[in-house]
Chains A and B, each alone.
Chain A
């Protein structure tokens, strides 16, 4: 340790507090990583970092944001492939009103463990929970269960889940608002009858999710791709919804599935015994809010004919669907219900 430095940790507490006040988020974070004593000093900061997003896989980065300045983000990124001798280094990027402050770290083999350490530090120093995590490795599930079992948004990448036991463990032990699940790597015969206990679900390759798992859940938004639900199942969902007995909080339902039925039979099956009316409010499609209420978007006017289904309490559900034959001669249905 050179003698001509500034012994920061020897300053009185109040002075340290004022010094830390003048540090930026990434500087505070770096300080907290230097030692346990330095972390205590870093904890004197008054930054109101409310959100942490952790993306792993294509982009390995942790982003931090504050509600008082939504145009500013601090990002610790591991994915640059520049000259490794440069790391770590800072960079800032201004796009319109948005400023991103980057700390680029060397992308080494140990960066996952290092990132876990950084995330834990962020929690200790800024009291900021993880709002969103995108994971690509099964080991993270156990880590997440211990570290933060309540999370707003969880995205699990393709083939991370290799057993239904793991999936069950997630459903039983994590509290998630928005759940995105890419394809799972399990035996194709197992089906899940129990509902997913999260309100917003997007499931790719959702062949394993059965009708009872859909009907008995308390979902707000359901997006199922690669589903094996039949036109008759969709008809049952609509009937139950219309009666007001199931899926009472549903706002949006999207199902992509395949059928052996031809287009006409398929449509007849979906709409069987339902009292549908043709939508006469083409200019007023339902407004769907996403879970963060940030990007409320208005659905563009549908190309296909929109049908309305009125629930017992007067709530209207608008239905659109498309039917295509793909190159494998499979008849694909894309079905959507929006509630407004």
Chain B
């Protein structure tokens, strides 16, 4: 892996980003793990914070890494954008060892960001955060008219869906024909 354990911003520190220390620090030294997203920026996260993610928690339990091994082998999440992973890490840190409140107002307001966050959270299996995100998705359309809802949720009309399906079939047909031709060329 090409990670250089860089920080998150352009003025990145040499050391990985560290989670803010919880006010009620545990007596036993906490173990830390490392994750990175598409941008390869490594985030240092405590095991307590990572417990929110069923996926990572499962990985940790199975691997039994020492801190040194964990540092040398950050968990790679190449399908998650760096800024989205940062949001997830921040959320896990903020809610480490705390009961989750019924509302979360810190979720991104930009719809594209929220979409990426939902996918990441679903992948990482962070149940409480997914619940907040889904509530936020539903809140987007409160009191909106059908056409506004169509626009907000980018729902194509049946005609648009049909056209897209036709187009996809056409493309698939062309690709299949191309592959056949290439195979025939190879055979010669």
A-side interface residues toward B, CB under 8 Å?
Answer: 1-12, 14-15, 18-19, 21-23, 27, 30-31, 33-38, 88-90
Contacts and interface: CB of A to CB of B under 8 A. Distances in A.
The interface centre, meaning the residue of B140, B141, B146, B153 with most chain A CB atoms within 10 A of its CB, is B153
Contacts of B161: 35-37
Given A1-B154, A7-B115, A35-B161, A15 B130 contact: yes
Contacts of B142: 27
B14 interface: no
Given A4-B112, A15-B119, A15-B134, 14 more contacts: A1-B160, A4-B110, A5-B154, A6-B111, A6-B137, A6-B154, A7-B115, A7-B153, A11-B122, A15-B122, A22-B138, A30-B146, A34-B146, A35-B157
A6 B152 contact: yes
A21 B134 contact: yes
Given A19-B138, A36-B158, A88-B145, A5 B111 contact: yes
Contacts of B115: 6-7, 10-11
A36 B157 CA distance: 8
23 contacts: A1-B151, A2-B151, A3-B112, A5-B152, A6-B140, A6-B154, A7-B154, A11-B122, A12-B122, A18-B134, A21-B134, A22-B135, A22-B139, A27-B141, A30-B146, A31-B149, A34-B157, A35-B156, A35-B157, A35-B158, A36-B158, A38-B155, A89-B145
A274 B130 CA distance: 76
Which bucket holds chain B's interface residue count?
20 to 34
Contacts of B150: 34
Contacts of B47: none
B45 interface: no
Contacts of B60: none
Contact of B146 (A6, A18, A22, A33): A33
A19 to B, nearest CB: 5
A35 B155 contact: yes
Contacts of B122: 11-12, 14-15
Nearest to A87: B145
Nearest to B114: A6
A11 B150 CA distance: 15
- Chain B: interface secondary structure? helix
Nearest to A2: B151
Contacts of A6: 111-112, 114-115, 137, 140, 152-154
Given A6-B115, A15-B130, A22 B149 contact: no
Contacts of A5: 111, 151-154
A26 to B, nearest CB: 10
A22 B134 contact: yes
B146 A1 contact: no
B131 interface: yes
Contacts of B153: 5-9, 31
Interface in B7-64: none
A7 B141 CA distance: 13
Contacts of A21: 134
B134 A19 contact: yes
Contacts of B85: none
Given A5-B152, A5-B153, A7-B115, A19 B137 contact: yes
The interface centre, meaning the residue of B122, B130, B134, B157 with most chain A CB atoms within 10 A of its CB, is B134
Interface in B148-188: 149-158, 160-161
B118 interface: yes
Contacts of A18: 130-131, 134
Given A15-B130, A36-B161, A8 B154 contact: yes
A27 B153 CA distance: 12
Contacts of A30: 146, 149
Contacts of B112: 3-4, 6
A92 to B, nearest CB: 10
A292 to B, nearest CB: 33
Contacts of B156: 1, 35, 37
Contacts of B137: 6, 8, 19, 22
A11 B121 CA distance: 12
B50 to A, nearest CB: 21
Interface string B74-102: 00000000000000000000000000000
Contacts of A12: 119, 122
B146 A23 contact: no
A9 B152 CA distance: 12
Nearest to A36: B158
